[in-house]
Structure 1
Amino acid sequence: MLKPIRSMKVMIVFFILFLSACQSQKTVPEEPLEQRENSLQPKEVDAVSILLNEIMDQAQNGMTVGSQINVMDSKMEQVKAEWGEPDKLDQSGKGSYATYDEKNFAVGFNESGEIFDVRSYANDLIKLTPDLINDSLGQPDQVRKTNSEEIYVYVLNHLIELKFIIPNNSKAVHHISVYNPERANADKISDEYVLDIKGQSKQLTASAWESMKNWRQQIVAFAKEHENVYINGPNKKQVALTFDDGPDELVTPAIIDILDEHHVKGNFFFVGSNVEAHPDVVKQAYDSGHLVASHSYNHVELTKRSQAEIQTEMKRAGQAIKSVIGKETAILRTPYGETNKQVAEIAKQEGYSIVLWSIDTLDWSQKEASNIINNVMNHVRNGDIILMHSDSEKTETVKALPALIEALQKENFEIVDLETLLNVKAYQ
Structure 2
Amino acid sequence: MPWKISTVRRRRTAAALVAVVSWSLALSGCTSYDTTSPRDARSHPSDDAKGERGAVDCGKERCIALTFDAGPAKDTPRLLDILKEKKVSATFFLLGKNHVVKHPDLVRRMAAEGHEVANHTWTHQILTERDADEVREELSRTQNAIEKITGHKPTLMRPPQGRTDDQVAEVSRDLGLAQILWSATAKDYSTTDSALIKKRVLDQADRDGIILLHDIYAGTVPAVPGIIAELKKRGYTFVTVPQLMAPGVAEPGKVYRP
Normalized against structure 2, the TM-score is what?
0.74
Secondary structure, counterpart of 2:64 in structure 1: strand
Assess, with a 3 A threshold, how the Cα gap between structure 1 residues 368 and 219 changes in structure 2: closer, same or farther. farther
**Aligned-residue offset at 1:219:** 11
Q: Which runs of 4+ in 1 moved over 3 A?
A: 218-223
**Aligned-residue offset at 1:367:** 3.0
In the alignment, structure 2 segments of 5+ residues that lack a partner are 1-20, 40-58, 253-258
Assess, with a 3 A threshold, how the Cα gap between structure 1 residues 221 and 307 changes in structure 2: closer, same or farther. closer
1:397 is aligned to 2:251:
no
1:257 is aligned to 2:81:
yes
Q: How many residues align?
A: 205
Residues 192-213 of structure 1 show CA distances to partners (whole Å, capped at 9, x for unaligned) of xxxxxxxxxxxxxxxxxxx9xx
Tell me which residue corresponds to 2:181.
356
Residues 274-311 of structure 1 show CA distances to partners (whole Å, capped at 9, x for unaligned) of 11111011111111111100000111111011111111
Secondary structure, counterpart of 1:378 in structure 2: helix
Tell me which residue corresponds to 2:238.
415
CA distance in 2, matches of 1:237, 1:420: 12
Amino acid at match of 1:257: D
Q: Specify which structure has the bigger relative contact order, considering alpha-carbon pairs within 8 angstroms and separated by 6 or more residues.
A: 2
Larger strand percent = 1
In the alignment, structure 1 segments of 5+ residues that lack a partner are 1-210
Q: 2:195 aligns with which of 363, 367, 370?
A: 370
CA distance in 2, matches of 1:406, 1:308: 44
Tell me which residue corresponds to 1:343.
168
CA distance in 1, matches of 2:168, 2:250: 19
Larger helix percent = 2
CA distance in 2, matches of 1:222, 1:412: 35
Amino acid at match of 1:297: W
Q: CA RMSD in A?
A: 2.5
Please give the residue correspondences for 1:381-396 in structure 2 after superposition, counting only pairs within 5 Å. Answer: 381-391=206-216, 394-396=217-219
CA contact (8 A) 2:69 2:215 kept: yes
Tell me which residue corresponds to 2:123.
298
**Aligned-residue offset at 1:425:** 5.6
Tell me which residue corresponds to 2:38.
233
1:406 is aligned to 2:229:
yes
Q: 1:285 aligns with which of 94, 110, 125?
A: 110
Assess, with a 3 A threshold, how the Cα gap between structure 1 residues 425 and 324 changes in structure 2: closer, same or farther. farther
CA contact (8 A) 1:233 1:385 kept: no
Please give the residue correspondences for 1:25-64 in structure 2 after superposition, counting only pairs within 5 Å. Answer: none
Amino acid at match of 1:259: L
